[in-house]
Amino acid sequence: KAGVTQTPRYLIKTRGQQVTLSCSPISGHRSVSWYQQTPGQGLQFLFEYFSETQRNKGNFPGRFSGRQFSNSRSEMNVSTLELGDSALYLCASSLVQPMNTEAFFGQGTRLTVV
Amino acid sequence: KQEVTQIPAALSVPEGENLVLNCSFTDSAIYNLQWFRQDPGKGLTSLLLIQSSQREQTSGRLNASLDKSSGRSTLYIAASQPGDSATYLCAVGNTGKLIFGQGTTLQVKP
């Protein structure tokens, strides 16, 4: 059974650019959540999608957005990149909801903004 | 606002020791608690999931307990091995998301 797949694994972008990250959940999982991990703030919740609808959103600016497709694959987009957006972005998939079923994480996308 | 704290932040032990990692949370209204392992630069590997109605879960050399009333969970690792060296994170399932502690970085010396 394939795990959670995130692409690309590494990205280097310039300030002001935008970036799109992709996450393919485990087959049959319908909930996809995104997290940002930095040394200073740890793991912080960005948003969660279920059946193509955003159900929950963390405390991040509107530059961070996402979407989910009918096959449960999800993308997140960050516009007008800032140096502080450099982080490991992790995607998690769950059968229903991350709060009452086990969450499985991908290997992450390491974003570096220069 | 739910806050999750893990103590200690770092731990170094000799191989073979049994050890306990601690996780505390401020709001007992949780759906579950999950323990993860993270190797440097990698994603999170799920170790154990404890539902709010459960008291403990076991997997191999790992045992996790949950005491909702006191807002605490412990992860017990028996007979530690160098391969157990990693950062261990606990996360509580609460209002549609996981809230993470800062993690405990474990080093097991041969």
Residue B14 or residue A40, greater confidence:
B14
Q: Which residue of B has its CA nearest to A54?
A: B96
Q: What are phi and psi of B84, to 5 degrees?
A: -80, -10
Cβ-Cβ contacts under 8 Å for B70 (sequence gap 6 or more): none
Q: Which residue of B has its CA nearest to A103?
A: B46
Give the separation between CA B13 and CA B34, rounded to whole angstroms.
Answer: 23
User: What's the confidence (pLDDT) of residue B64?
Assistant: 97
Enumerate the residues of chain B whose CB falls inside 8 A of the CB of residue A103.
34, 46, 91, 98
How buried is B66 (Cβ within 10 angstroms: 0-12 exposed, 13-18 middle, 19+ buried)? buried
pLDDT in tens, A46-84: 999 999 999 999 999 999 999 999 999 999 999 999 999
Enumerate the residues of chain A whose CB falls inside 8 A of the CB of residue B97.
33, 45, 48, 56, 58, 98-99
Q: Which residue of B has its CA nearest to A106?
A: B43
Give the separation between CA B32 and CA B92, rounded to whole angstroms.
Answer: 6
Q: Which amino acid is at B84?
A: D
Cβ-Cβ contacts under 8 Å for B87 (sequence gap 6 or more): B37, B38, B39, B40, B103, B104, B105, B106
Average pLDDT estimate for A14-26: 98
User: What's the confidence (pLDDT) of residue A110?
Assistant: 97
> What is the DSSP-derived secondary structure letter of residue A95?
S
Average pLDDT estimate for B26-47: 94
Cβ-Cβ contacts under 8 Å for A112 (sequence gap 6 or more): A10, A11, A12, A13, A86
User: What's the confidence (pLDDT) of residue A97?
Assistant: 66
Give the separation between CA A40 and CA A42, rounded to whole angstroms.
Answer: 6
pLDDT in tens, A92-106: 999 876 566 889 999
